[in-house]
Amino acid sequence: MARPRLRKRLLRGLLVSVAILATMVAMLWALQRQLIYFPDASPVSPAADVIPGSQDITLQTSDGLELGAWFVPSAGKDTGMAVLFAPGNGGNRAGRATFAESLSRRGFAVLLMDYRGYGGNPGSPSEEGLAADANAAAEALEELGYPADRTIYFGESLGTGVVSALQARRPPAGVVLRSPFTSLADVGAHHYPWLPVRALIRDRFPVPEHFTSSNVPVTVIYGDNDSVVPSELSARVADGLPNLAERLVLPGVDHNDPAMFGPTVVDAVVRLAERVR
């Protein structure tokens, strides 16, 4: 009698465990974008109040959204080039104002975009949606006098997935990938090894595959102490690029340390611009 009861207890325990796992998987599927995107949805101040001489512009997406962005004109010896800045998965464009000013002083015009759902913009972020947002940003720069062949796409973290796909559609003069990853699934699997991330994730952002047939020069920048995007993933991206212009590894630097937005990174953008002009 004891043995059948033990079997029943084990079976009930197994069923409970399976039910718990199934519930976790279902929640991960339903809520995964809330685990990927962390927008600061607050409206931002007028551009000129934050960066003197800059202006607010509106990006018109192919699916009918109007997105706020900032355009910062060159404030130094004009290079005749622009930088399209695609941010990471958190905050909004106000957090990159100082970096945009640094680029502007080195002679670049800068477009600081915010994705849908960020910085007071309508909509909800997704891989497809961010692609449409990036297209709209590139089109706005062209209307401002900076076609793709006079633009450097700068993507940070999640933005590396955005600009990698954009450069395949609209090849620019050059690309800067700051803290890139091989795919978002690889990042998720690193942080959640006990979950079937690769099987469930919808927004994948596969960076390397967008460069398979690309001849656009690319600079890769990453810290070797990155706690968000493992540095080995960034190194694999650099290793596989067909046209690597420069690999800049910042010793001891984490994902959002000030060095990631400092003069060393700005200098790397300048070097890429000098190479492609």
Give the three-class secondary structure for 155. strand
- Beta bridge partners of residue 60, listed in sequence order: 66
b/e sequence 183-200, b meaning 16+ C-beta within 10 Å: bbbbbbbeeeeebebeee
* Rounded CA separation 71/205 (Å): 26
Domain extents in the chain: 1-36, 40-276
Give, for all 277 residues of the chain, the pLDDT tens digit. Answer: 566 666 666 667 665 655 555 555 555 555 555 567 988 888 899 999 999 999 999 999 999 999 999 999 999 889 999 999 999 999 999 999 999 999 999 999 999 999 999 999 999 999 999 999 999 999 999 999 999 999 999 999 999 999 999 999 999 999 999 999 999 999 988 887 877 877 778 889 999 999 999 999 999 999 999 999 999 999 999 999 999 999 999 999 999 999 999 999 999 999 999 999 8
CATH number of 40-276: 3.40.50.1820
pTM of the predicted model as reported, rounded to 2 decimal places: 0.89
**Tokens 């915010």 sit on residue:** 114
